[in-house]
Amino acid sequence: MKQARLPIVVVGGGVAGLATALAAAPAPVRLLCRAHDGSGSASALAQGGIAAALDPHDSPATHAADTLLAGAHHNDAEMVEWLTREAPGAIAWLQAQGVLFDRDADGRLQLGREGGHAAARIVHAGGDASGAALVHALRAKAQAAAHVQWRGGVDVDALLVRDGAVVGVRTRDERGRQEHIEAAAVVLATGGIGALFARTSNPPGADGAGLALGLASGASPRDLEFVQFHPTTLDVAGHCLPLITEALRGAGAHLLDADGQPLMAGVHPLGDLAPRDVVARRVAQAQGEGGQVWLDATGVAGAWERRFPTVLAACRAHGFDPRRAPIPVTPAAHFHMGGLATDADGRTSVPGLHAVGEVACNGVHGANRLASNSLLEGVLCGRRLGRFLAAAEPRPGRRGDYRWVERGDSLSPSQLIALGDLLWRAAGPVREASSLRDAWRSCAAVADAGWQARLAKALLRAALLRKRSLGAHCRHDRGCPA
């Protein structure tokens, strides 16, 4: 009698996890999410769209060149070539899944321009609600797919390891009830680490939990020091700040200093549309000099309710109207280029454990992600990983002793606040050795108290070891221009 195939366990309901689950058909998939409906992912908050060379005057080669330039040529060139070549096909696939991209009066896809891009190649859905549109469409497909079993309201807090391979997970629901699930393969699609920082554009769930679990299992990290800071979030009180999309600057908005002068004048040839690391450092520098930074979008034409509904609603909720007056902005932790080291098919160094999306690092983003390449990576790498797992031969049952690899206890709320402040000061847009070293020692002192401290310690160590400035890793004591 043929034995029933164990499910592929996908942890995370953002774009990367959903794409992986859909592409794994007909293999059975167990999709596990912290939220019951899969909400709360950073994907759903993404205001930028997806980059693809669709204009006749553009090309995948130019898209690749922009990606390499933004990434300080620290990228894996083969992955960049593959990503940019496959990008137009990703747009076609998403349309087939029901994503309604914005079009002009003639029915053509509208192509916007964002920082670091030499051409207009960003497709959006719902104006600045692209991430939500993608997640909504892919979630509907996954929930209707016969091969996908959706499980919400659970947290994966341990991996089952037998004979050196990951063969299952342990989940815990809101009531503390545990379930053990054996798996043909485990995929971590858990997002980034932005919520560890005092100021972030990410949701609270982007806390690095999946990355910490992968590292605890022995999976090799890669480029943990490279954290991208978005230069424009709304400068209001709080931890998770409203994102002010870069597309506004692509539509004509300008950054101003405290005196109302152009902030980016003479800083970079692309001005307000310079790569994010350059703009974020300039904003941070101006703030460090005691000044408020403003984004003047009063000259942006068109219907804001259609083009930028998310930004408009967020600003109004805090008493601002970006159509009538400049709004205050600040950098915030936005995207982690580093993560669990994977190959092109999402395999980590631990057999049976895979990673995709922001928790993974395959080298495609290099030292600084090019705007609107992240949703693209999630779609393409997720589909590639799903197909790879579906084609894999069923693994024979492993014998021998097994062990649980646990993420461990969490820091207390007060400790998390202190850690966020520490990371922001030491590992923010501008860094230097003594602050990094002091922060590392502080994390080492409380490493036994919670997994967040151990993860921060690993990031800080990587930042100390990277002694020269590169991309988003700006060492002010090593020649960073900030």
Active site residues: 276
| CA 320 to chain centroid | 27
Report the alpha-carbon distance of residue 478 to residue 480 in Å, rounded.
6
Q: Given the structure tokens 């693994």, which residue do they identify?
A: 395
Structure tokens at 423: 């990371």
Calculate the alpha carbon distances from 79 to 64, 76, 85, 86 in Å: 10, 5, 10, 11
Report the alpha-carbon distance of residue 356 to residue 382 in Å, rounded.
6
Contact by Cβ (8 Å): 370, 49: no
Task: Give the up-direction half-sphere exposure of residue 474: CA atoms within 13 A in the CB hemisphere.
Answer: 21
Give the Cβ contact number of residue 232 at 10 Å.
33
Q: Given the structure tokens 């002009």, which residue do they identify?
A: 104
Cis link prior to 275 (omega < 30° from 0)?
Answer: no
| CA 82 to chain centroid | 19
Amino acid at 246: E
Report the alpha-carbon distance of residue 77 to residue 89 in Å, rounded.
20
Residue 93 phi/psi, 5° resolution?
-65, -40
